[in-house]
Amino acid sequence: MGYSAMMIHFQHSSNLSAGQPNPGSDSSLSGAGHTSAAVVLGFIMVLGILGNFLLLLVFSRFPGLRTPANLLLINISVSDVLVCIFGTPLSFAASVRGRWLTGSDGCRWYGFCNALFGIVSLVSLSLLSFERYTMLLSGSQMNSSQYRRARVSVAASWFYSLLWTLPPLLGWSSYGLEGPGTICSVQWQQRSVTARSYIICLFIFCLILPLLLMFFCYGRILLAVRTLNRQVARVNQTQTEGRILLMVVTMVTGYLLCWIPYGVVAMLASFGRPGVVPPAATLIPSLLAKTSTVLNPVICVLLNNQFSRCFFHMISCRSEDSTSSVNISSSGGIWQQNLPREEQNTEPAILRFRDHQVQQPERVEMVDSKT
């Protein structure tokens, strides 16, 4: 790093410590604009914590829901609730006051936390699509190897995220203020070779590749379901295809809506002409990215009949003793399985792709454990 770059970095840190706007940020955002951002961030923080906490509570009370694929859903909820606890309150307080409040160290912490937990969520969503795809292809009953693979996927998502979020703390790019000076992220506006190389790698390996994996896996799932529908002429198979199509559209649309605008704006800020993206305009894509912490649990509940039934059973407070059963019919879709415990291995999978046979158990009984 040259002398001029060191001076700029020192001046930037001094401004943050004094609570002054970053020279690359826009302090002209009106008071109404800051208030609106604070209101949105407040809703995201409250709904994100509440929604993901309820999702994790359901998983804790119903051990039968902890299938290999659902372990990745738990991982997504953990990362979402952590960013709502450790990151969002800082930007909320900054928006209320109209300036960053916690200095350079707080800015780096905020940028690191949001990047770490956000990439964990993105990678887990793509690994979830891969897990569903492999379950469809294997057509085998759940066993310990599938749980082992799911745990490895969870650990890999955190390791992969750390691999890409630690470098800005070590000198490959940096974290700093962006937009109206009330949020911190990777310094997209830096135009050095090292900063641009990091941004290109981050865009490709943490945004585009997970999206391509989702497209591939969900596309193959749709093709497999269509093949089965042609061979098994049943009305409920057409309904299954509709549910799978809804799931694919919802998951991919949520991903695109939350993250692609942020990625596009970041690339424009890095490689476009200076000033092509007004700093205040970067606030909207940033807020959209944060809404993923609210959308993820909603999508998971709406697209998982077993989970939604357990959730409504839990909040209905109808359990009369320490154990109660929830009977779930086989209308849930091709991923609805008999929810065995990890040590159990007694029921066939719902869908066998290799021999094109569809097996549908009549009902599922789950035990609600004590909290």
Count the neighbouring beta carbons within 10 Å of the beta carbon of residue 133: 20
Q: Are 368 and 312 in contact (CB under 8 A)?
A: no
User: What pLDDT sits at residue 14?
Assistant: 45
User: Distance between CA 97 and CA 292 in Å, rounded?
Assistant: 25
User: Distance between CA 263 and CA 255 in Å, rounded?
Assistant: 12
List the chain residues with pLDDT less than 70.
1-28, 139-142, 229-242, 244, 300-301, 317-371
185: three-class secondary structure by DSSP: strand
Nearest to 44 by CA among 104, 90, 111: 90
User: What pLDDT sits at residue 370?
Assistant: 47
R_g of the chain, CA atoms, integer Å: 23
Q: Are 277 and 265 in contact (CB under 8 A)?
A: yes
Tokens 């990745």 belong to residue: 72
User: What pLDDT sits at residue 236?
Assistant: 57
Task: Indicate the pTM of the whole model.
Answer: 0.78
Sign of the C-alpha dihedral, residues 187, 189, 191, 196?
positive
User: Distance between CA 177 and CA 100 in Å, rounded?
Assistant: 8
CATH code for the structural domain at 30-312: 1.20.1070.10
